Copies of this chain bind each other. A is one copy, B any other.
Amino acid sequence: MQRFINNPDEVVEDTLRGFVKAHADILGVSPENPRVVVAASAPIAGKVGVITGGGSGHEPAFIGYVGRNMLDAVAVGELFSSPTAKSFFDAAKAVDAGKGVVCLYGNYAGDNMNVKMAIKLAAKQGLEIATVVANDDVCSAPPSERGKRRGVAGEVFMWKCGGARAAEGASLEEVRATAQKAIDHCRSIGVGLGPCTLPAVGHPNFVIEPGTMEVGIGHHGEPGVRIEPLRTAAEVGRDMAATVLDDHDLPAGAHVAVLISGLGATPLNELYILNDAIESEIARRGLAIERTYIGNYFTSLEMVGATLTVMAVDDELKRLLDMDVHCPALP
């Protein structure tokens, strides 16, 4: 493992310490729970609290999206493992200003269970937590079983739109509905070229043979729909866009936002090379690209690969995407 780490069992603690030092102007760790990151500004009077949470190892997700007009707090889990119900609850409690809290998270077994229990804990204290569960990963289940799909980088759009809507002063139900709309309008796909290693385990947690790629791979190496020979970026990008758009089925003329994220060890220039083909395919289908985000937005330790997310945007989502934010992970 050619990596910058200390004790493999303390990767999350060490990451959080360095993260909070770097961004102390924007956020901090909750004094009550070292696994909750809270915006310096939270709670904001008259604003619905917006939180998320998930396993670590996806930096800048989830912690990097805490900040003004974005997330108010994040519950932090171990590497690739859900945070506790208590952390979700503490995150909600820390940002509640009496208007309720919405938890915008991804569809994973552990997260589902822990959020469910956090809701129970919160209800006992009269705190309402509404939820939206992201399931934008098209390869993780057929369209007929959309509820089974995993949440991936589309969560960034869900947070951005939900966070902005809350900043506008919307009600809990309005924020929930907007975040739900955002993720309903997202479709994503991942392609893996190389695995990642949990430091405490010390060897890759799955295999991708050199010369091959895994299409539809998940953020923890969940198997994709197929393994095929590694092709040119032009072909890979076109196929990623085609898969996502086939599932999306948008009318020509629809406006979309595009997010291409590296998985941790893929350099930016390769994401641009992919984007060339992706945007060509999107344009070929008569769609108009409103805005493109390219970089490491939602990663998987040092996995080699990339994800594509396409979100169909209406006037509301456009307005919310355009709102200024001040968080570590967004420009």
Contacts and interface: CB of A to CB of B under 8 A. Distances in A.
Interface in A5-22: 5-6, 11, 14-19, 21-22
Given A279-B18, A331-B328, A302 B266 contact: yes
Interface stretch (A28-36, A113-121, A175-183, A293-301): A293-301
Contact of A22 (B2, B14, B275): B275
A27 interface: no
A294 B2 CA distance: 20
Interface string A289-331: 0001011100101101010000000000000000000001011
Nearest to A209: B2
Contacts of A2: 193-194, 208, 210, 213, 230, 304
A59 interface: yes
A232 interface: yes
Given A279-B18, A294-B22, A4 B302 contact: no
Nearest to A211: B2
A12 to B, nearest CB: 8
A234 interface: yes
A17 B276 contact: yes
Interface string A234-254: 101100000000000000000
Contacts of A194: 2
Contacts of A268: 59-60, 64, 264, 296, 299
A22 B269 contact: no
A232 B4 CA distance: 7
Contact of A236 (B4, B56, B328): B4
Nearest to A7: B232
A234 B6 contact: yes
12 contacts: A2-B208, A4-B237, A6-B234, A16-B272, A21-B279, A22-B272, A22-B279, A60-B268, A64-B268, A268-B296, A295-B296, A331-B331
